[in-house]
C-alpha cells in the first residue's frame, strides 16, 4: 500500500500517453475542429454573399447601346426656321420621340428584315434618348435639318435580353417587350448597330425614374456620400482628437471625467437611427437646415462617428509609453509641448486608422439618413462646395435601398451594382487604414 | 495647432450656416410610395423640358407626406404631398394650426389593385365574397356565424382551384389596405350575408374587416417587391399588388379576375373593375410664386401629354382621370380645396 499513485499495470512513461493526457489532447483537437468549423461558416457566408452580389451586380457595369442615324427634321424641331433657342425649347421631349421612331423604321428597312407582328420597335430604345437628342439640338441649334449618328441606350428589357435576364419565353408574357423585338435586336447585333460596352454612365449619371432603369446611375449618390464624408472628416476628426487629448492627458481623474468616459462608450453603442431622429429634430426642425442636404447627413454622421474616433484616439494615446512623456518633461518641455511634440505624433497612425474606420462605418450607414430626407429621387448634381453641401443629394447606401424598392426588375441589377461600388469604396478605405498602420505604427 | 484647427472648423460651420439662408430653387415633394414612381417620371420629364431644376421626390407613405406638408410654411418644409388616399380632417386641422391655411387638392388619375399569383400556377377568378370567405375571421356557414373553417380555395367556391389559401395582403399602414378593406372585404361581407349575421350578433360593419389570425393571411408592411419575393418563395399563394406593379412584372405574375373582369387601365377607367382608388397630390398654396417652378410643375403634371391616356404615366400603369380637363382648369387657376 505504499505505491498508491502508480497504476497497477506497468510503469508510467512520459512517452506513453496516459488516459488523462489523451483526454486533454482530444479536448484540444475538438476545440481546434470547432474553431475551424466556425471560421468555415464565416467564410462560406462571406463567399455566398459576395458571389450573389457579384452575380447579380456585375452586369450593371455593362450596357447595351443602339446606334442610329437620326434625321433632325426642321418641321418637327423648328417650324419657323429661325433657329431661335427660346422658340425651339418649346418643343418638349415628346416632340422628339417621332424622330426616333422614324429612324428605327428606317433602320429596319435598311436591315431588310421582315419580322411578322413587330410592334413599336421604338420602345427598344431608352426613353432617355429623346432627352439626349433635345439636349444636343438645343446646344447646337444649327444641326437642325441634318442627319447625325447617335448612340442611344437600349431599353432595360433589351439590355436584359443580352444579359440573360429576359428570354424569348419571358418576353412572350411580358407587356413591355415582345419576342419580335428581341429578334430584331439579334438582327441589329449581327449588323453591328447594337453592341454592349462598359457602362461608365452607371458611375456618373444621376438616378432615373422607373420608366428608364437603363439610364439610372450613381453620380449624385457618390457626390452626396463624398460631401458627407468631408463634413464628417472636418468636424469629427478635430473635435474627437481634441476631446480625447484633453481627457487622456490633461483632465483630472475624478467622478466627472469617469462619467464622461462611460457615456462616450455608451454613445458608441447607441443605435444609429436614434441619431437620425436627433438630426431631424435639431438640424432640420430647430436650426432650419434644408432637407435632403449632405450637410445635415454629415452632421448626423459626425455625431455617430465621434465616439468611435474618441475611443480609438484614446487607445492610441494610452499606447504611447509613459517614458516618452517623462523624458520630454525631464528635459524641460511643458506639458503642452510634451503632448503635441512627442505623444501626438507617435499616436498619429492609430488615430488615423481609427478615423478611417469611423469614416467607413459612416459611409455605409443608412438608417439615420432615412429620417432626414436623403432617401429621395434626386437628379440634379449638387453644385461645388460649399454651396453644394446644402443642395439635395442622395447617398450610396440609400440609393441601394431606393433601387431595391422599384418595380422594374432591371433595378435589382442596379442595386447589386451599387453595392459593389459601395464595397469597393469601403475596401479601399480599410486598405488605406491597414497600410497606414503597417507603415507608421511603432511598437515598444 | 489645436486652436487653429478648432477655429477653422468653427469658422467653417458659421460660413456654411450663413449660406443656408439662400433660397431653395427646386420643388420638394414627399409622400405615398404608390404615387412615387409617377411623381419621379413627371419630375424627370419636367427637369428635361423646363429650365427649372428637377424636383426632389421622396417616398415615406401618404400619411407621413401629408404630415410633413402640414409642418408649416417656409423653405425648409415640402411643397407637395403625394397621397394615395384622400386627406383627412386631422391633417387639415394640423395644417391649419401650423399656418398652412390653403391647400390645393389635385386628383390626377386612378390606380387599380390586382390579385395575382405565380405565373406557373392555375388561373383564378374571384369575387369579393370569395375573399371574404377565405380571409375573414367569422363567416356564415349554413346560416350560422362560425369561425372561418376554410382551408382551400375550393372550399370557398367550388369553381376555384383546389389550392390552399395563403394570401399576402398589404399591411394596415398602406393606403392600399384601406381600399382592400372597403372594396373587397366589406363588399364580400355584405354579399355573403355575414354583415347581417354580424349585426344580429351585436357586432358592426367594422367587424367585417377582422381577419383570421391562423397564418392564412399575411400582412406585408414593405412594398410590392417584398410581396413579389414572398410569392416567389410560396408559389401557392396569392398576392395583392398595384396595377402598375403588375404591368411591369407580367412575365412573373398571373392576374386574377374580380367579378369576371380582368384588371387593365381600360376596365379601371370605365369603372367595370371594382377595386380601384383615386391618386392625389396636395399643394401648399403659400409656396406658389415663392418656390420657382412649382406652378409649372403642377401644370405639367396634369397636362394631357403627361397624365393623359397616351402619356408616360398611363404607359406605366396609371388609369387616367376622365375629368382631367377640369383638374387642369382648377390647377392653373389655383383653386384651393374646400372642406372634405
Q: State ipTM.
A: 0.83
A vs B: CB pairs below 8 A: 141
CA B318 – CA B312 distance, rounded (Å): 9
The verdict on B121 and B198 lying in the same domain is yes
In a domain, B1, yes or no: no
CA B247 – CA B238 distance, rounded (Å): 16
Which residue, of B242, B259, B276, is where some domain finishes? Answer: B276
pLDDT at residue B178, as a whole number: 82
Residues of chain A contacting residue B69, judged by C-beta atoms under 8 Å apart: none
Cell 435598311 maps to which residue?
A: A110
CA A354 – CA A348 distance, rounded (Å): 10
Cell digits for B248?
411591369
Q: How far is B48 from chain A (nearest CA, A)?
A: 6
A275-300 average pLDDT score: 88
Per-residue pLDDT of chain B (340 residues), as tens digits, is: 455 555 555 545 544 554 444 567 889 999 888 899 999 999 999 998 898 999 999 888 888 889 889 988 888 888 999 998 888 888 899 988 998 888 999 999 988 889 999 988 888 889 888 898 888 888 888 878 888 888 888 888 888 888 889 999 988 767 788 888 888 888 888 888 888 888 888 777 778 888 888 888 888 887 788 889 899 888 889 999 988 888 888 888 999 998 889 998 888 888 888 888 889 999 999 898 888 899 999 999 999 888 888 888 888 888 888 888 888 988 888 888 877 7
| DSSP conformational letter for A409 | T
What is the sign, positive or negative, of the torsion defined by CA atoms of A56, A59, A61, A63?
A: negative
What's the per-residue H, E or C state across B151-209?
CEHHHHCCCCCCCECCEEEECCCCHHHHHHHHHHHHHHHHHCCHHHHHHHCCCCHHHHH
Residues of chain A contacting residue B24, judged by C-beta atoms under 8 Å apart: 290
In a domain, B7, yes or no: no
The verdict on B122 and B256 lying in the same domain is yes
Residues of chain A contacting residue B299, judged by C-beta atoms under 8 Å apart: none
Query: Measuring CA to CA, how many Å separate A217 from each of A78, A196, A207, B245?
Result: 32, 17, 5, 22
A316-338 average pLDDT score: 93
Cell digits for A248?
487622456
pLDDT at residue B294, as a whole number: 92
Cell 450610396 maps to which residue?
A: A396
The verdict on B149 and B250 lying in the same domain is yes
Residues of chain B contacting residue A233, judged by C-beta atoms under 8 Å apart: none
Residue A140, beta-bridge partner list: none
| DSSP conformational letter for A144 | T
The verdict on B117 and B181 lying in the same domain is yes
Q: How far is A16 from chain B (nearest CA, A)?
A: 58
Taking the CA atoms of residue A440, residue A441, residue A443 and residue B2 in that order, the dihedral angle to the nearest 10 degrees is: 100
pLDDT at residue B7, as a whole number: 54
The DSSP result for A109-125, as a single string, is HHHT---TT---GGGGB
Which residues, at least 6 apart from B324, have a Cβ–Cβ distance to it below 8 Å?
B108, B302, B304, B307, B308
The verdict on B165 and B251 lying in the same domain is yes
The number of domains in chain B is 2
Going from the N-terminus, what domains does chain A have, and what CATH number goes with each? 61-199 (no CATH), 219-440 (1.10.3720.10)
| B5 to A238: CB separation less than 8 angstroms, yes or no | yes
Which residue, of B276, B301, B318, is where some domain finishes? Answer: B276
Do residues A171 and A178 make contact, with C-beta atoms less than 8 angstroms apart? yes
- What 3-state class would DSSP assign to A444? coil
The verdict on B192 and B158 lying in the same domain is yes
pLDDT at residue B189, as a whole number: 87
Task: Work out the burial of residue A109: count CB atoms within 10 Å of its CB; fewer than 13 is exposed, 13-18 middle, 19 or more buried.
Answer: exposed
pLDDT in tens, A117-170: 888 888 889 988 988 989 898 888 888 888 889 999 999 889 989 988 888 888
| Helix spans in A58-77 (H) | 74-77
Q: How far is B120 from chain A (nearest CA, A)?
A: 12
**Confidence class of residue A11 from pLDDT cuts 50, 70 and 90?**
low
| A387 to B43: CB separation less than 8 angstroms, yes or no | no
* Long-range contacts formed by A286-291: CB under 8 A, 24+ apart: A287/B17, A288/B20, A288/B74, A288/B76, A289/A390, A289/B17, A289/B20, A289/B76, A290/A390, A290/A392, A290/B20, A290/B24, A290/B75, A290/B76, A291/A372, A291/A373, A291/A376, A291/A392, A291/B28, A291/B56, A291/B58, A291/B76, A291/B78
**Contacting A residues, span 211-250, partner chain B, CB-CB under 8 Å:** 211-212, 234-235, 238-239, 242, 245
Report the residue of chain A nearest B39, measured CA to CA: A209
pLDDT at residue A203, as a whole number: 92
CA B181 – CA B178 distance, rounded (Å): 5
**CB neighbours (10 Å) of residue A146?**
11
The verdict on B257 and B120 lying in the same domain is yes
Cell 468631408 maps to which residue?
A: A230
pLDDT in tens, A181-207: 888 888 888 888 888 889 899 999 999
H or E element, residue A266? helix A255-268
A249-269 average pLDDT score: 89
pTM: 0.83
The verdict on B271 and B293 lying in the same domain is no
The verdict on B226 and B119 lying in the same domain is yes
CATH of the domain at B182: 3.40.190.10
| A406 to B37: CB separation less than 8 angstroms, yes or no | yes
pLDDT in tens, A405-444: 888 888 989 999 999 999 999 999 989 888 888 888 776 6
- What 3-state class would DSSP assign to A4? coil
Residues of chain B contacting residue A94, judged by C-beta atoms under 8 Å apart: 305
A381-390 average pLDDT score: 86
pLDDT in tens, A95-122: 888 888 888 888 888 888 888 888 888 8
The verdict on B78 and B213 lying in the same domain is no
CA A291 – CA A360 distance, rounded (Å): 24
- B71: containing domain: 22-110+278-333
Do residues B224 and B245 make contact, with C-beta atoms less than 8 angstroms apart? yes
CA A369 – CA A277 distance, rounded (Å): 10
pLDDT at residue B5, as a whole number: 53
The verdict on B70 and B146 lying in the same domain is no
- How, if at all, do strands B238-242 and B217-220 pair? unpaired
In a domain, B43, yes or no: yes
In a domain, B10, yes or no: no
| A407 to B48: CB separation less than 8 angstroms, yes or no | no
The verdict on B35 and B125 lying in the same domain is no
Position A237 pLDDT exceeds 90: yes
Amino acid at each position: 500500500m505504499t505505491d498508491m499513485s502508480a497504476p497497477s499495470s506497468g510503469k508510467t512513461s512520459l512517452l506513453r500517453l496516459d488516459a488523462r493526457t489523451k483526454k486533454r489532447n482530444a479536448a484540444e483537437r475538438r476545440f481546434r475542429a470547432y474553431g475551424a468549423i466556425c471560421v468555415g461558416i464565416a467564410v462560406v457566408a462571406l463567399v455566398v454573399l459576395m458571389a450573389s452580389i457579384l452575380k447579380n451586380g456585375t452586369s450593371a457595369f455593362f450596357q447595351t447601346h443602339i446606334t442610329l442615324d437620326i434625321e433632325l427634321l426642321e418641321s418637327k424641331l423648328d417650324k419657323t426656321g429661325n433657329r431661335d433657342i427660346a422658340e425651339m425649347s418649346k418643343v418638349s421631349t415628346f416632340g422628339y420621340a417621332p424622330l426616333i421612331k422614324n429612324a428605327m423604321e428606317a433602320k429596319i428597312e435598311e436591315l431588310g428584315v421582315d419580322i411578322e407582328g413587330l410592334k413599336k420597335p421604338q420602345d427598344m430604345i431608352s426613353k432617355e434618348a429623346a432627352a439626349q437628342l433635345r439636349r444636343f439640338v438645343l446646344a447646337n441649334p444649327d444641326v437642325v435639318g441634318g442627319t447625325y449618328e447617335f448612340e442611344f441606350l437600349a431599353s432595360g428589357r433589351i439590355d436584359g435580353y443580352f444579359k440573360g435576364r429576359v428570354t424569348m419565353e419571358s418576353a412572350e408574357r411580358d407587356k413591355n417587350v415582345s419576342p419580335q423585338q428581341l429578334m430584331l435586336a439579334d438582327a441589329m447585333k449581327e449588323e453591328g448597330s447594337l453592341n454592349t460596352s462598359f457602362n461608365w454612365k452607371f458611375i456618373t449619371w444621376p438616378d432615373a425614374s422607373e420608366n428608364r432603369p437603363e439610364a439610372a446611375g450613381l453620380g449624385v449618390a457618390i457626390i452626396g456620400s463624398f460631401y458627407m464624408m468631408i463634413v464628417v472628416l472636418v468636424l469629427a476628426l478635430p473635435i474627437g482628437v481634441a476631446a480625447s487629448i484633453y481627457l487622456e492627458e490633461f483632465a483630472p481623474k475624478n467622478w466627472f471625467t469617469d462619467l464622461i468616459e462611460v457615456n462616450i462608450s455608451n454613445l458608441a453603442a447607441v443605435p444609429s437611427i436614434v441619431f437620425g431622429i436627433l438630426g431631424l429634430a435639431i438640424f432640420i426642425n430647430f436650426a432650419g437646415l434644408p432637407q435632403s442636404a449632405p450637410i445635415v447627413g454629415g452632421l448626423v454622421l459626425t455625431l455617430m462617428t465621434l465616439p468611435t474616433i474618441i475611443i480609438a484616439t484614446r487607445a492610441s494615446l494610452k499606447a504611447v509609453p509613459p517614458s516618452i512623456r517623462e523624458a520630454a518633461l525631464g528635459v524641460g518641455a511643458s506639458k503642452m509641448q510634451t503632448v503635441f511634440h512627442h505623444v501626438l505624433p507617435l499616436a498619429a497612425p492609430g488615430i488615423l486608422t481609427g478615423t478611417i474606420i469611423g469614416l467607413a462605418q459612416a459611409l455605409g450607414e443608412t438608417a439615420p439618413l432615412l429620417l432626414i430626407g436623403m432617401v429621395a429621387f434626386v437628379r440634379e448634381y449638387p453644385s461645388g462646395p460649399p454651396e453644394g453641401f446644402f443642395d439635395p443629394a442622395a447617398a450610396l447606401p440609400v440609393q441601394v435601398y431606393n433601387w431595391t424598392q422599384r418595380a422594374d426588375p432591371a433595378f435589382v441589377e442596379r442595386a447589386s451594382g451599387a453595392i459593389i461600388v459601395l464595397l469597393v469604396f469601403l475596401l479601399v478605405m480599410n486598405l488605406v487604414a491597414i497600410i497606414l498602420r503597417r507603415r507608421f505604427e511603432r511598437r515598444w | 495647432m489645436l486652436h487653429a484647427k478648432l477655429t477653422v472648423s468653427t469658422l467653417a460651420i458659421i460660413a456654411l450656416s450663413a449660406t443656408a439662408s439662400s433660397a431653395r430653387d427646386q420643388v420638394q415633394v414627399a409622400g405615398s410610395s404608390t404615387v412615387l414612381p409617377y411623381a419621379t417620371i413627371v419630375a424627370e420629364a419636367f427637369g428635361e423640358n423646363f429650365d427649372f431644376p428637377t424636383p426632389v421626390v421622396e417616398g415615406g407613405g401618404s400619411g407621413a407626406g401629408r404630415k410633413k406638408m402640414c409642418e408649416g410654411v417656409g423653405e425648409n418644409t415640402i411643397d407637395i404631398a403625394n397621397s394615395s388616399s384622400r386627406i383627412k380632417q386631422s391633417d387639415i386641422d394640423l395644417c391649419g394650426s401650423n399656418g398652412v391655411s390653403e391647400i390645393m387638392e389635385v386628383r390626377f388619375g386612378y390606380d387599380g389593385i390586382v390579385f395575382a399569383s405565380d405565373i406557373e400556377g392555375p388561373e383564378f377568378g374571384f369575387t369579393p365574397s370569395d375573399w371574404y370567405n377565405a380571409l375573414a375571421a367569422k363567416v356564415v356557414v349554413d346560416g350560422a356565424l362560425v369561425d372561418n373553417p376554410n382551408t382551400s380555395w375550393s372550399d370557398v367556391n367550388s369553381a376555384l382551384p383546389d389550392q390552399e389559401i395563403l394570401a399576402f395582403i398589404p399591411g394596415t399602414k398602406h393606403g392600399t389596405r384601406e381600399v382592400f378593406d372597403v372594396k373587397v372585404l366589406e363588399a364580400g361581407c355584405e354579399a355573403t350575408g355575414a354583415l347581417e349575421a354580424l349585426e344580429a350578433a351585436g357586432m358592426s360593419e367594422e367587424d367585417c374587416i377582422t381577419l383570421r389570425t391562423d397564418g392564412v393571411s399575411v400582412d406585408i408592411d414593405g412594398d410590392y417587391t417584398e410581396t413579389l419575393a414572398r410569392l416567389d418563395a410560396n408559389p401557392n399563394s396569392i398576392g395583392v399588388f398595384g396595377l402598375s406593379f403588375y404591368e411591369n412584372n407580367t412575365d412573373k405574375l398571373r392576374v386574377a379576375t374580380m367579378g369576371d373582369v380582368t384588371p387593365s387601365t381600360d376596365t379601371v377607367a370605365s369603372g367595370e373593375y371594382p377595386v380601384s382608388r383615386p391618386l392625389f397630390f396636395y399643394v401648399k398654396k403659400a409656396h406658389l410664386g415663392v418656390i420657382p417652378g412649382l406652378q409649372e410643375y403642377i401644370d405639367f403634371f396634369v397636362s394631357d401629354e403627361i397624365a393623359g391616356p397616351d402619356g408616360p404615366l398611363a404607359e406605366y400603369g396609371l388609369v387616367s382621370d376622365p375629368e382631367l380637363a377640369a383638374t387642369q382648369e382648377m390647377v392653373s387657376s389655383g383653386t384651393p380645396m374646400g372642406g372634405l
